[in-house]
């Protein structure tokens, strides 16, 4: 439901404006609005002192957050701390810590790049040591090459075999990118010829990592393994330095971050006040039920602070924010209605109706004891992921099991074949027409409820429109009575009065809403017929389950038949899990909500203490 909001005004001495705003922030229930500017009052945003305070807070906050970011990038873990007033020493220290953190990060970035380069060559480390040890007595030239493709590597092997006739050593390693790193050892006497060949073939020399770039190739290659270990030790030392910085200054920096954010939120609130030389006025919205608590909090500031209620009962005010509050049984279904815009203040929250009709319609579609039990088990597993989704799943599974007993279904006709289950109401495989009548009748009831809700909610604002909605609901009732009488389901004496009443209702709707009301009536009737999809989906579900059960004897091998049946049931369960959800939600969003739902509500954003986003906490 949409809870009642009160428009309030807080008046007091200007010297108490900051304290009053802080009290509002502590309570966290008032959404501030720009105060109405009366004679001798101006908006506080024009105050240069307020602007200067904002500028200083923004600079300090930017420095603190940059420091925290640098520490987190270095791998430091920062625990959240309660907000405290940022001291001058903390803000001064943040500049020093920021410089230290940036220095460490720059060093870590360079070392990380060198480590990544060394890891590229790591598969060749053993080859370098083995080949150099085996050829220790010979004068050799070493080449470290990078080839773009495996084809280029094959061509290089062939060319070297022709040029050197096997008097060389070549080791290669193909990277994930498809490139190849090649280690080539040739006699020093053949180096000049090899240099010309590599240049003519445009073979790229692989660059040595930064830490070894000053060494000659024969000296650099054997040191790669040792250098990689050295880089890892240096990176670990940098992480330890970052952790030391975080342990020393992290808590104070996080407290300063929160306090500075709170200060900026408070300054935003102060800018919305109207002030004179000696007084201030703040205005905003709060839930009506929170007014006594707010009054008590403001009273602690002294008798000079006055709290007034400007507007409480005007449900037509478009400026009022919307706050939804539903009992625990209905609250999980806000997950489904949150995909729509907020309802307009003074209209109706659709959540309770979704909580009632969504599980029921889903259960009517699926209606299988076996699938309902599997869905209940799956909902319990999902409890760790989302309690709301889990509760919705459990509600849906209860209706699915209940209608499964009504239809006599457990994994299709398996309940009948193994357990002798019989339908307590009707068998969907045979009573297709009865199922269709149930679906359309439920659609008529659903839309009549929506039209009645619209008539009641709009009576306070648009009585003519409310009467039109009410008569449209009556039109559907009379149409149902006329059809039941026509097909002999109720006494035929009611047919003629129902038809006459239908004509009168049609004329009344046209008078109230104009000629387009006829189109609206036809649209509503068409929406009722749309509920036939409930029958179609349900029948398809049970027939797929029956087909799955028939597979057990269709393959000669019982084991093979059971395996195929299980696979088919899994597929059917997946279909019955998603397809009814989509179509039942469509029946709510398109057909049902169109009768009464009025979007356009604004979100409720009260002045509160700042909290970090979960990923940055």
Specify the CATH number for the domain of residue 194. 3.30.70.2750
Determine the Cα–Cα distance for residues 440 and 448; give it in Å rounded to an integer.
12
Q: Is residue 306 part of a domain?
A: yes
Query: Is residue 147 in a domain?
Result: yes
Same domain membership, residue 194 and residue 129: yes
Cα–Cα distance, 31 to 12 (Å, whole number): 18
Do 205 and 130 share a structural domain? yes
| CA distances from residue 362 to 390, 401, 581, 585 in whole angstroms, order as listed | 15, 11, 7, 9
- In a domain, residue 171? The reply is yes
Name which of 117-131, 210-224, 255-269, 566-580 the model is least confident about: 210-224
Query: Is residue 135 assigned to a domain?
Result: yes
Nearest CA-CA partner of 453 in 359, 583, 445:
445
In this predicted structure, which of 111-120, 296-305, 331-340 has the lowest mean pLDDT?
Answer: 111-120
Residues 125 and 198 in one domain: yes
Per-residue pLDDT of 171-214, as tens digits, reads 777 777 777 877 777 777 777 877 787 777 777 777 666 666 55
Shared domain check, 134 and 219 = yes
Residue that terminates a domain, selected from 191, 208, 224: 224
Helices (H), 409-462: 414-419, 432-458
- Please classify residue 184 by burial: count the beta carbons closer than 10 Å to its beta carbon, then call 0-12 exposed, 13-18 middle and 19+ buried: buried
Q: What local confidence, expressed as pLDDT, does residue 461 receive?
A: 76
What pLDDT is stored for residue 87 in this prediction? 62
Phi, psi of 605 (to 5 degrees): -125, 80
Q: Would you state the structure tokens that stand for residue 423, as one six-digit string?
A: 């339908």
Name the residue with higher pLDDT: 432 or 214.
Answer: 432
Which range marks the domain in which residue 23 is found? 1-41+276-323
Same domain (yes/no): 281, 217? no
Is the distance from CB of 61 to CB of 325 less than 8 angstroms? no
pLDDT at residue 617 is higher than 50: no
* Residues 207, 289 within the same domain: no
Task: Using pLDDT thresholds of 50, 70 and 90, give the confidence band for residue 84.
Answer: low
Q: What is the pLDDT of residues 301-347, one digit of tens each?
A: 988 999 988 866 566 677 889 999 899 899 999 999 988 899 988 88
pLDDT of amino acid 136: 54
Residue 126 covered by a domain = yes
88: pLDDT strictly greater than 80: no
Nearest to 331 by CA among 391, 396, 400, 397: 391
Give per-residue pLDDT as tens, 45-77: 666 777 788 888 888 888 888 888 888 888 777
Same domain, 134 and 208: yes
Is 589:446 a contact under the CB 8 Å cutoff? Answer: no
Least confident of 213-217, 383-387, 404-408: 213-217
- The total domain count for the chain is 2
How many angstroms separate the Cα of 458 from the Cα of each of 347, 453, 616? 8, 9, 45
Residues 218 and 285 in one domain: no
In a domain, 195, yes or no: yes
For all residues of the chain together, what is the average pLDDT?
83
Shared-domain flag, residues 217 and 308:
no
Share of the chain above pLDDT 70, in %: 88
Q: What is the maximum span of the chain, computed from C-alpha positions, in angstroms? A: 119
pTM above the 0.85 mark? no
Find where tokens 């959800």 sit: 581
3-state secondary structure 194-251: HHHHHHHCCCEECCCCHHHCCCCHHHHHHHHHHHHHHHHHHHHHHHHHHHHHHHHHHH
pLDDT at position 27:
93
In a domain, 281, yes or no: yes
Rounded to an integer, the average pLDDT of 550-564 is 69
Q: Among 293, 323, 353, where does a domain finish?
A: 323
With a CB cutoff of 8 Å and minimum separation 6, the contacts of 59 are: none
Task: Look at residues 184, 202, 224 and tell me which one is the last residue of a structural domain.
Answer: 224
| Whether residues 130 and 198 fall in one domain | yes
pLDDT over 90 at 606, yes or no: yes
| pLDDT greater at residue 217 or residue 503 | 503
- Tell me if 366 is assigned to some domain: no
């Amino acid at each position: 439901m949409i809870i009642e909001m009160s428009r309030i005004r807080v008046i007091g001495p200007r010297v108490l404006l900051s304290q009053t705003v802080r009290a509002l922030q502590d309570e966290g229930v008032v959404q501030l609005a720009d105060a109405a500017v009366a004679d001798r009052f101006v908006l506080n945003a024009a105050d240069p002192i307020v602007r200067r305070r904002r500028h200083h807070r923004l600079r300090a906050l930017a420095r603190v957050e940059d420091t925290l970011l640098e520490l987190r990038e270095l791998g430091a873990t920062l625990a959240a701390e309660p907000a405290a007033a940022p001291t001058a020493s903390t803000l001064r220290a943040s500049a020093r810590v920021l410089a230290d953190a940036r220095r460490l990060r720059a060093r870590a970035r360079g070392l990380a790049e060198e480590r990544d380069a060394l890891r590229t060559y790591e598969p060749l480390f053993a080859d370098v040591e083995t080949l150099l040890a085996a050829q220790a007595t010979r004068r050799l030239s070493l080449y470290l090459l990078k080839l773009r493709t495996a084809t280029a590597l094959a061509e290089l092997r062939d060319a070297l075999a022709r040029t050197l006739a096997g008097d060389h050593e070549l080791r290669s390693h193909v990277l994930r990118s498809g490139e190849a790193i090649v280690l080539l050892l040739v006699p020093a006497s053949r180096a000049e010829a090899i240099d010309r060949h590599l240049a003519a073939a445009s073979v790229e020399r692989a660059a040595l990592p930064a830490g070894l770039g000053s060494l000659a190739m024969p000296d650099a290659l054997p040191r790669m393994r040792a250098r990689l270990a050295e880089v890892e030790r240096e990176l670990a030392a940098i992480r330890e330095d970052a952790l030391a910085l975080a342990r020393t200054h992290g808590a104070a920096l996080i407290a300063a971050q929160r306090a500075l954010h709170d200060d900026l939120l408070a300054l935003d609130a102060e800018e919305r006040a109207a002030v004179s030389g000696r007084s201030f006025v703040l205005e905003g919205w709060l839930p009506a039920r929170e007014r006594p608590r707010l009054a008590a909090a403001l009273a602690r500031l002294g008798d000079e602070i006055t709290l007034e209620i400007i507007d409480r009962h005007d449900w037509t005010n478009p400026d009022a924010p919307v706050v939804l509050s539903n009992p625990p049984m209905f609250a999980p279904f806000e997950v489904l209605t949150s995909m729509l815009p907020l309802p307009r203040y003074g209209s109706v929250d659709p959540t309770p109706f979704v909580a009632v009709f969504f599980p029921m319609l889903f259960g009517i579609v699926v209606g299988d004891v076996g699938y309902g039990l599997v869905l209940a088990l799956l909902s319990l597993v999902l409890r760790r992921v989302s309690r709301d989704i889990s509760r919705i799943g459990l509600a849906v599974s209860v209706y699915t099991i209940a209608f499964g007993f009504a239809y006599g279904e457990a994994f299709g006709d398996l309940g009948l074949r193994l357990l002798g289950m019989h339908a307590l109401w009707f068998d969907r495989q045979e009573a297709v027409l009865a199922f269709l009548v149930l679906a359309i009748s439920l659609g008529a009831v659903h839309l009549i409820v929506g039209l009645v809700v619209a008539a009641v909610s709009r009576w306070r604002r648009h009585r003519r429109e409310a009467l039109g909605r009410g008569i449209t609901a009556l039109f559907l009732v009379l149409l149902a009575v006329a059809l039941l009488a026509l097909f002999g389901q109720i006494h035929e004496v009611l047919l003629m009065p129902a038809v006459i009443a239908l004509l009168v209702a049609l004329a009344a709707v046209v008078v109230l809403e104009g000629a387009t009301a006829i189109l609206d009536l036809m649209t509503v009737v068409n929406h009722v017929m749309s509920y036939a999809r409930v029958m179609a989906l349900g029948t398809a579900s049970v027939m797929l389950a029956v087909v799955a059960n028939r597979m057990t004897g269709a393959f000669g091998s019982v084991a093979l038949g059971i395996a195929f049946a299980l696979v088919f049931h899994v597929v059917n369960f997946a279909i019955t899990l998603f397809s009814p959800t989509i179509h039942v939600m469509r029946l709510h969003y398109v057909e049902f909500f169109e009768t009464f739902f009025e979007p356009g509500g604004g979100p409720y954003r009260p002045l509160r203490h700042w909290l970090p986003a979960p990923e940055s906490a």
